[in-house]
C-alpha cells in the first residue's frame, strides 16, 4: 500500500506546525493536542526501534540461539532502574544499578580509553607566544580561565585576600561569558529550526517561495 497523497501529508504537517506556533500567542488546546501527539509518536517510534534493534536480537539471537545467558544480568539490572517509579520503599534499589553503571563507565574510560580525557587535558597546554598577537592573547586567556576555574572550585581554599577575590571575580565573569555564548548558540539553532518551518509553510505547502 502506498502512503498518503503528497498534498495530504503537507497539509497535516502544516496544521501541526501552525498548532505549535500558536503557543507564541498563548497556550491553547490546539498546542496541547499537538504536544501530546508529538510526544506520543516520538515515544512509540523510540519503543519500536528499541524492540527491533536491541531487544529482539538480544533475546532471540544472543540469549536464545547462542546461549549467552550472562546477558540476563545486565537485563535484570536495567529492569531494576524502573523501581524508581514503584513503591517508595523500593526506590533505593534503583540507585544500585545506576551507581554501578556510572562507576563502570568512569573506570572504563580512565583505564581503557583515556584518549578523550588526556586530549582535553593536553588541549590546555598552549603556547603564550603564538604566531599572531590575537592568538597569543587568546591562548593566555584560555589558560588563565582553565586554571582560575580549577582554583575557584577548590572549596577548601578560603575566599580571602585580594588575589583569591580577584580570581573569584574573574572566574564569575568568565562563567557569564561562557553561558552567554552557549545561550546565543542555542538561540541561533532555534532560529534555524524556525526558518526551516517557515520555509516549509511558505514554500512546500503554499508554494509562495521556491
Q: Say yes or no to pLDDT of 185 above 90.
A: yes
What's the rounded Cα separation, in Å, for the pair 132 and 25?
50
201: DSSP letter = I
Question: Do 34 and 20 meet the contact criterion of CB atoms below 8 Å apart?
Answer: yes
Provide the pLDDT confidence category of residue 3 given band limits of 50, 70 and 90: low
Question: Where are the chain's structural domains?
Answer: 1-67, 126-203
% of residues, the chain, pLDDT over 70:
99
Which of 190, 210, 188, 189 is closest to 200 using CA atoms? Answer: 210
Provide the pLDDT confidence category of residue 1 given band limits of 50, 70 and 90: very low
Q: What is the pTM of this model?
A: 0.67
Q: How far is CA 185 from the centre of its chain?
A: 14
pLDDT at site 156:
80
Which of 85, 113, 83 is closest to 96 using CA atoms? Answer: 83
Q: Say yes or no to pLDDT of 13 above 60.
A: yes
Q: Say yes or no to pLDDT of 46 above 60.
A: yes
Higher pLDDT, 4 or 142: 142
DSSP reduced 3-state for 114: coil
Q: Say yes or no to pLDDT of 144 above 80.
A: yes
Distances (CA, A) of 38 to 12, 21, 44, 78: 13, 14, 10, 26
Is residue 136 classed exposed, middle or buried when 0-12, 13-18 and 19+ CB atoms within 10 A define those classes? middle
Torsion of CA 64, 69, 73, 75, to 10 degrees: -10
Which of 186, 187, 159, 183 is closest to 171 using CA atoms? Answer: 159
Amino acid at each position: 500500500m502506498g502512503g498518503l497523497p503528497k498534498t495530504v501529508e503537507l497539509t497535516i504537517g502544516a496544521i501541526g506546525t501552525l498548532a505549535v506556533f500558536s503557543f507564541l500567542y498563548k497556550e491553547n488546546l490546539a498546542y496541547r493536542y499537538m504536544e501530546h501527539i508529538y510526544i506520543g509518536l516520538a515515544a512509540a517510534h523510540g519503543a519500536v526501534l528499541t524492540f527491533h534493534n536491541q531487544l529482539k536480537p538480544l533475546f532471540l539471537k544472543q540469549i536464545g540461539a547462542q546461549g549467552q545467558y550472562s546477558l540476563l544480568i545486565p537485563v535484570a539490572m536495567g529492569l531494576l532502574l524502573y523501581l524508581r517509579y514503584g513503591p517508595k520503599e523500593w526506590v533505593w534499589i534503583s540507585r544500585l544499578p545506576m551507581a554501578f553503571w556510572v562507576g563502570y563507565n568512569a573506570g572504563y574510560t580512565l583505564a581503557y580509553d583515556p584518549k578523550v580525557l588526556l586530549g582535553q587535558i593536553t588541549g590546555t597546554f598552549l603556547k603564550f607566544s603564538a604566531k599572531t598577537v590575537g592568538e597569543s592573547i587568546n591562548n593566555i586567556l584560555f589558560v588563565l580561565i582553565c586554571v582560575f576555574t580549577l582554583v575557584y572550585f577548590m572549596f577548601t581554599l578560603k575566599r580571602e585576600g585580594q588575589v583569591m577575590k580577584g580570581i573569584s571575580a574573574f572566574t564569575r565573569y568568565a562563567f557569564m561569558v561562557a553561558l552567554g555564548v552557549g545561550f546565543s548558540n542555542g538561540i541561533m539553532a532555534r532560529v534555524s529550526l524556525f526558518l526551516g518551518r517557515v520555509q516549509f509553510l511558505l514554500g512546500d505547502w503554499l508554494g509562495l517561495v521556491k
